[in-house]
Amino acid sequence: MAMMTGEQYVESLRKLKLNVYMFGKKIENVVDNPIIRPSMNSVKMTYDLAEKPEYEELMTTVSNITGEKINRFTNIHQSTEDLVKKVKMQRLCGQKTAACFQRCVGMDAFNAEYSTTFEIDKEYGTNYHERFKKFMAYVQENDLTVDGAMTDPKGDRALSPAKQADPDLYLHIVERREDGIVVRGAKSHQTGITNSHEVLVMPTVAMRPEDKDYAVSFAVPTDSQGITIIMGRQSCDTRKSEEGADIDVGNFNYGGHEALVVFDNVFVPNDRIFLNGETEFAGMLVERFAGYHRQSYGGCKVGVGDVLIGATALAADYNGAHKVSHIKDKLIEMTHLNETLYACGIACSAEGHKTESGNYLINLLLANVCKQNVTRFPYEIARLAEDIAGGLMVTMPSEKDFRSEEVGHYIEKYLKGVASVSTENRMRILRLIENITLGTAAVGYRTESMHGAGSPQAQRIMISRQSNLAHKKALAKAIARIKE
C-alpha cells in the first residue's frame, strides 16, 4: 500500500473498534466527537503535508527496510541529515497546527527499539530485531500512526516495580504462554492514542533482576481486546462541544488529547514481543527513547512557539502597542528563546552517531540540554505573550454574548482596539493566545514542556552522567600546569 492521504487516514480510524470513555460515558464515534476531532485533525496534517510537493523532502524519505517511499514519521534514521530533517519537519507541523501532532512518540520509540533489539539479540541470540523490522515494514507499508507508550502510573515512587503494593501499577506480564504473553497494567499521559492504529509499549524505568515480569516491550492494535482508553480532562475542553462554538475555542481545527490506557489481560503474540524479561536492557531502551523524544521538543515546541509569537505580535498590533519599545523588546526575547530551543534540537541531531544496528542516535547530552531548556523557555514565552496580550485575554465575554442581540453591540463597541481591526478579529487572536498558553493546547505546549519526555530532574541526571567532568578537569589541569 502507498502512503495514505489525510482522508484515507481518517477513514482508516473509522474501522477501529476502540473502547473509549470520556466524562463517564462510552464514546461510540471517536472520529467525529467534537472534543476529540481537533486532535485527530492534527495527526491528519502529518499525512496532508506529505502529499504536498513543496514539503516532500521534509515529510518523506526512503525506507531502509522496504526500499519504498515512506512518511518520515515512520522512518528509521539513517544519517545525521535524517535527524536534522526530523526536527525541521516537527517545526513545520507545529507551525501548521499550533498543537501536538502526536506521531513523534511513535517515531522516537521506533528508533529506540531498532537499536536496542539489535543489542539484545547480540547478547542473548534472541530474534527481537527481526521481529521488530517485520513490524516496522508493516507500519511503513500501511503508513500507520503508532502511539508510543512508556509512562506507568508508578504508584509509590520510593518502591521498585516488583515491590509495589499493587503489582499492576507498572505494566507487567501475568502469563507466559507458548504462543505469546498476557499483560496487565496501564500507561498514563498517552498522547493521541485514539488517533493511532497501534500502540508500542515500553518499560518506563531501568529494571532490576526481580523486575523481570516488568521488563516488557511489545506492539498491539489499539482496539485489542482488554484495552480501555479513558480520556483526560483539559482546561476549556467542553468549549469545543458548545453549540456554534468558534471564537471561544481559540484553535478551532487542531488540538491534542491525553488519556489513561488500561491493559486488562491483553494478549500479545510472540511476533509482537520485543523485550521479555531482559531487565538489563530496559534502561537502555528508556534512555534512548528519552533522548530521541527530548530532541523532538526542539522542533515541535518551536513550531507552536512560532504561532504564539505571531499571535502575540498581532495582539500588539490590534492594541495599537506595536511601536512601543518594551513591546518590541519582549517580542525579540520570545524569538530569542524560541530559536535557542531550535538550535539545541538541530545541534543534538547534527552531533548524532551511528549505532551498531545501523540507525543513528542523537547526541544524548545535547538532547537532554535541549529538553532542560524546554522546561523553562516556553513558560517565559507564554508569560511574555500574556503580558503583551493584556488582561482581556482572560476576562473577555463569551462568543454567545458577542453574538447576542441584547448585549453584543456593547462588546463590539467597548472591546474595540485600533479602528482598522474588527472587534471579532481582536477576540479571535486573544482566544488563540489563551488556547496555547492556558487552554487545551497548553497540554501540547506549556504544561507538556515541563513533564513530557521526563521531568526536569530526569534531564539533569542525564546531563550529570554525560557531562564528562573528568575530561574537563584534565583540560583545566593541563592549562594550569598541574602535575600529580
- Residue ranges at the known binding site for FAD: 191
Q: How many whole angstroms separate alpha carbon 153 and alpha carbon 52?
A: 40
Burial degree of 391 (CB within 10 A; 0-12, 13-18, 19+): exposed
Neighbours of 26 (CB within 10 A): 10
CB-neighbour burial class of residue 5 (10 A; exposed 0-12, middle 13-18, buried 19+): middle
Does the annotation mark 93 as catalytic?
no
Q: How far apart are CA 306 and CA 98, in angstroms?
A: 8
Beta-ladder partners of 20: 229
Task: Extract the runs of DSSP E, i.e. beta strands, from 232-270.
Answer: 259-269
How many Cβ atoms from other residues are within 10 Å of residue 94's Cβ? Answer: 24
Query: Which residue numbers belong to the known binding site?
Result: 191
Q: Is 292 a catalytic residue?
A: no
DSSP assignments along 39-68, one per residue = HHHHHHHHHHHHTSGGGHHHHEEE-TTT-S
Active-site residue, selected from the candidate residues 119, 278, 386, 448 = 448
Q: Which of 100, 344, 348, 370 is catalytic?
A: 100
Cell, residue 415: 472591546
Q: Of 128, 297, 360, 445, which is the active-site residue?
A: 297
Among the listed residues 259, 261, 255, the one whose alpha carbon sits nearest the alpha carbon of residue 241: 255
Amino acid at 154: K
Choosing from 172, 293, 318, 434, the catalytic residue is 293
Sort residue 154 into left (φ over 0), alpha (ψ -120 to 50) or beta: left
Q: Which of 87, 117, 134, 115 is nearest to 374 (CA)?
A: 87
Residue 318 appears among annotated catalytic residues: no
Catalytic residue flag (residue 300)? yes
Return the ∠ at Cα 290 (arms to 464 and 455), rounded to 5°. Answer: 65
Q: Is 321 exposed, middle or buried (0-12, 13-18, 19+ CB in 10 A)?
A: middle
Q: Is 478 exposed, middle or buried (0-12, 13-18, 19+ CB in 10 A)?
A: exposed
Catalytic one among 113, 119, 198, 258? 258
Q: Which of 60, 74, 104, 214 is catalytic?
A: 104
Known active-site residue 66: no
To the nearest 10 degrees (0 to 180), the angle between helices 456-466 and 282-319 is 120
C-alpha cell at 106: 511513535
Question: Which residues does 399 contact at the CB level (< 8 Å), separation at least 6?
Answer: 244, 245, 246, 247, 248, 427
Rounded CA gap, 327 and 11, in Å?
A: 46
8 Å CB contact between 84 and 346: yes
Q: Which of 60, 116, 151, 191 is catalytic?
A: 191
**Is 257 in the active site?**
no
Bridge-based pairing of strands 172-177 and 60-62 is unpaired
Q: Hey, which residues are catalytic here? A: 100, 104, 191, 258, 293, 297, 300, 448
